[in-house]
Structure 1
């Protein structure tokens, strides 16, 4: 009996040729300590381009720590120590020659709580472009519109583009923050529980957006919502106590997990 019937089984009879996807992130024996606390333990994961990878697990299991390590946001935390390798497109992100500014330009981050700048909707998008040296007004205007369209919010804000972003609803603010990332044309989007503070309608819109964006971007999302992970992701990694218990196709994780701890978590026996 299937454990969770949220996601349809892949059609193995399809005659469409399978797509060979390259690795976007490869993690090899990665460990991380906050002082004496061993937060990540020998993480080994290989995540492919233009897929949605969901990271699930109970609170405090290392999900957010891991995703923040992928663009080295953990560098901002005192007393952090790492070992092992995390390769982005074949380059170790911990190497000194890999500048963190370059990494964070290529790898955008969307946080749990929408964090628009205290500026207009337009300036929320344009600000990052100017910081990166783009001064041409035509390019800025075109990029602002393109990004808002990609984030499926243009039609809702085009008539108040110069009004404060704080006037938007929570769901609109989150899509604005996604548009802000897209304006810099990243390769990867990291999302740390992007819908946990949103109502069901706004959550659905963000999920639909994620499905559309994976045609161009690689997306890695932390979520506590089992139904959400099953609906939107191609691969799922189950974290527990700082370790990866299981990593596989999402259908397999939710319907035929290899580890009893995975089954216990997704069926609600703990977590």
Structure 2
């Protein structure tokens, strides 16, 4: 029954439950959400770009061997395991990535032999694959930002020394697709910070989390703190390539980037 291929869902490996993947699953490509608009009397169609991908479904076939008197109990274990929602799916042949799964739909458990059960599970997933390394929080090394003229040249004092702003800046390189980072800011007072020139303000009383995916702010205890934040959450997301983080004041910023790829 061992095939050398396994998966992990909601932190539990299939093989640890005596459940085995019959074959490697086919992974569908996400479909980009481009809406066609038909205008009567006009040739062709117009297209509305919704700037997103549709979710995908990954179907995986499993089987297991169990004594006849324990066969039904095994199926109950399977149903409990795959009832988890908003969990991670990790495939053993793509160990550096995982999928965000919204929910799992189970199909009929077929008793193909006296001790053999076979069933399929359909995993409804976010269209992106997420890197495990993107789930690691990193403190940002912020350096004093230079004060520049309109042509990009540094502004100097009379003595020739370069004038620095009160802001600090860090450059982040995103080699993947656009992503929705989680910011954790520590300090006291009002923190103004920007991503690529898009500013946000947060009233920080020790610590606050700003989640650009959920478009919400919350305290370390998980209490919503949206009233303490002003700005556009979506504008704080990272673009592919070069991203600039700027802040003012004596605050420490930690970022969980949530790197992802289609």
TM-score (norm 1): 0.24
Query: Whose strand proportion is higher, 1 or 2?
Result: 2
Greater per-residue helix proportion? 1
Higher RCO, Cα 8 Å, sep 6+: 1
| TM-score, normalisation: structure 2 | 0.25
Give 1 or 2 for the bigger CA radius of gyration: 2
